Structure 1
Amino acid sequence: MEYRYLGKTGLMVSELCLGTQTFGWVTNEAEAFRILDRFVDAGGNFFDVADSYNKGESEAILGRWLASRGGRSRFVVATKVYFPTGTGPNDTGLSRKHILESVHGSLRRLQTDYIDLYQLHCWDAAAPLEETLSTLDHLVRTGKVRYIGVSNFTASQMVKAIFLSRLHGWEEIVSTQMEYSLLVRTVEWEILPVCREEGLGFLAWSPLAGGWLTGKYKRDQAPPPDSRAGRRDRWEDLPEQRASERTWRIIDVLSEIAAQRGKTPAQVALNWLLRQPGVTAPIFGARTLAQLEENLGSVGWKLEPDEVERLSQASVIPIPYPYNFINRYTRFRR
């Protein structure tokens, strides 16, 4: 596995990031340990989790594995704060109170004294951004956090965070984590350009669109009962949200290229993401060791430029105003 710098920092992370949301949910601890061991054996060093995943159990399982492996400095651990961790009115959001209580809970569950990348899991319209950013700056200065990032922010919200931090001399965000895949490409309009302009790392969550880019879903067929859509785990991955002529067109091209290259659709979909400008790493989850093995097959080879273009054309979204106007008339630096 290759390594990439996280944005303009000196931190090197593996080109694949292992998401651990399945741990403590559909993946038990023994299987999670096997997945983590195999990921590291393949060269992976980057793990993503959140305090809200499975009521903290995902962090706890990762923490017990870290303790069993030793050598904490070998690994890059990213976690997140925002979503509810309790039933009280202050058990959610990006207030100073919730962030400070949440970071200590994450440190305890992860069995570590620092977090490599601490991310705001969602924009909070209620908490003043100055309160949030000054709290993150404090966490970096006290050594509890090494780097800070955001997730599920708009481009303007990211830019506001960057310039507020510069104005006050606070630690700046170094990365963003957003949904990005052949099915979801709207981050290309503003988010990715901001990342490239400001030197932010970009982490792609749901790079397989909740399983829709694995080839398991077929046109005019019910989803397999043991799949995300079949279990109806997440609203965004249900057929009524994902299925469309565009979806089936993408899957058709994906399957065709996969067959020609001797790869699986999931491997091709992940490799396409790795070829996109500004992307640091896709974050993929694995319910089983077999799923992990398949996803690891997405690296060590490259799609040909014409294959990347075929996939891009099959998944293209018509660009709305003002992006289409700017693209038509602006000059680009070469």
Structure 2
Amino acid sequence: MKRRILGGTGISVSEYALGAMMFGAWGNADPHGSVRMIHQALDAGINVVDTADVYSMGESEEIVGKALKGRRDDVVLATKGSSSMGGDPNHSGNSRRWLTRAVENSLRRLDTDHIDLYQVHRPDADTDIDETLSVLSDLVRAGKVRVIGHSTFPAEQIVEAQWTAERRGHIRFRTEQPPYSILARGVEAAVLPTAQRYGLGVLTWGPLSAGWLSGKYARPTDINLTEGSGRAALERHKFDPSVPGNARKLEALGELTKLADEAGLKLPHLAIAFVRAHPAVTSVIIGPRTSEHLEDLLASVNVELSTDVLDRIDEIVPPGTDLNRNDFYYTPPALIEASRRRR
């Protein structure tokens, strides 16, 4: 598997990263099977494992920690914090109070003395970015974290964080982790160019658009809104064909399936190769639930798309377009809370 350098950090990472969101109650409930899958990925040349404290409420991190026993030094271990880990509002966010505790909890669950890449999972409108960078810088200097990054940050907040780090003397963010797929191309407009401008490494998530590009769905009748458990059950609206954005995705899906067939490719292989082809992308996070799924995704590692195929994708889903805006997984608070828009 090819390697790339992560955002000028000197850290060599594989073009595919293993996402661990599906390890635990949210996906694969067999911890031993999940450990075997992690080993399968490492044996195939993947050297990045990405998880988060909130995935199955800590269970994913525990599984990853067990799997990396004896192999920790060969793995770039990434995790994330800031999502709610309980009913108390102080058990979430990007404050010094919470991130200090969140890192300690992650270190314990991962059974390691340091985290190679620690990422704030989402922006926090209630915490000054100076506060967040201050605590993360202290954690780096304490040796508990090597590199810091963020996930699903809009372009303007990426810029603000870079300027704040420079002006306040903080260690700066070196990576961004955005959602990116053929069906969710909004980050091409500003997020990816901004990441390139500041030399950030980019680890994308959701290349199969929550399963839309897995080859499983082609018609509205293929979508069973009653199936699934855990996190999938909470996000059935993302597959409801009556939602206008999902109807647009279904229309595009038919054309993409035809294009993949004409190119002699499986649809998920086409989808991942598309994401990997963007010059801003360092590594594509794949999130398999089963060993068979992982094996199939790994088979796409050498797929390269021709200019003609990429041009055809642009015709089906224009550059910078999110067919369903909710696929970005982050909505600015000003659009949610009326009190932020009214005096």
TM-score (norm 2): 0.87
Give the aligned partner of residue 165 of structure 2: 165
1:9 matched to which residue of 2? 9
SS of the residue corresponding to residue 301 of structure 1 reads: coil
Say if 2:196 is the partner of 1:196. Answer: yes
Q: What SS is found at the alignment partner of 1:183?
A: coil
Aligned-pair CA distance for 1:89? 2.8
Is 1:259 paired with 2:249?
Answer: no
Structure-2 residue corresponding to 1:298: 300
Cα distance in structure 1, aligned partners of 2:132 and 2:53 = 17
1:271 aligned residue (273, 276, 292): 273
CA distance in 2, matches of 1:230, 1:106: 21
- After superposition, the Cα gap between the structure-2 partners of 1:256 and 1:250, relative to the gap in structure 1 and judged at 3 Å, is same
Superposed CA offset, 1:91-120 (max 9, x none): 011110100000000000001100011001
Distance 1:233 1:104 in 2: 29
Q: Which runs of 5+ in 1 are unaligned?
A: 321-334
Q: Which residue of 1 aligns with 2:339?
A: none
Give, in angstroms, the shift of residue 236 of structure 1.
6.0
TM-score by length of 1: 0.90
Give the 5 Å matches for 1:61-76: 61-67=63-69, 70-76=70-76
Deviates more, 1:234-243 or 1:129-138: 234-243
Count of residues in correspondence between the two structures: 317
Amino acid at match of 1:280: T
Once the two structures are TM-superposed, the CA of residue 230 in structure 1 deviates from its matched residue by: 12
- d(CA) in 1 for partners of 2:154 and 2:7? 18
Q: Distance in 2 between matches of 1:176 and 1:250?
A: 27
The answer to whether structure 1 residue 124 and structure 2 residue 121 are counterparts is no
On the 8 A contact 2:181/2:209 being kept in 1, the answer is: yes
Matches within 5 A, 1:147-296: 147-224=147-224, 226=227, 232-234=233-235, 237-239=238-240, 240-241=242-243, 242-245=245-248, 247-296=249-298
Partner amino acid for 2:246? A
Quick one: distance in 1 between partners of 2:231 and 2:215?
A: 14
C-alpha distance in structure 1 between counterparts of 2:235 and 2:144, whole Å: 33
User: Which string of whole-angstrom CA distances, capped at 9 and with x for unpartnered residues, describes residues 291-333 of structure 1?
Assistant: 101111221131111111111221115779xxxxxxxxxxxxx
Corresponding residue SS for 1:43: coil
Are residues 231 and 88 of structure 1, via their aligned partners in 2, closer, same or farther at CA, if it must alter by over 3 Å?
closer
Match status 1:56 vs 2:70: no
* Whole-angstrom distance in 1 between the partners of 2:179 and 2:316: 19
* Displacement of 1:205: 1.2
Q: Alpha-carbon deviation of 1:38? A: 1.1
Match of 2:42 in 1: 40
Query: Which amino acid in 2 is paired with 1:243?
Result: N
Cα pair 1:95 1:127 within 8 Å, conserved? yes
CA contact (8 A) 1:134 1:170 kept: yes
Partner of 2:79: 79
Structure 1: how far apart are the matches of 2:231 and 2:5?
38
How far apart in 2 are the matches of 1:291 and 1:267?
12
* TM-superposition CA deviations, 1:55-79 (whole Å, max 9, x none): 1000001001112xx1312001111
Aligned sequence identity (%): 38
In structure 2, the gaps of 5 or more residues are 323-343
Matched with 1:313 is 315
Q: Does the aligned pair in 1 maintain the 2:213–2:267 contact within 8 Å?
A: yes
Contact 2:121–2:152 (CA<8 Å) still a contact in 1? yes
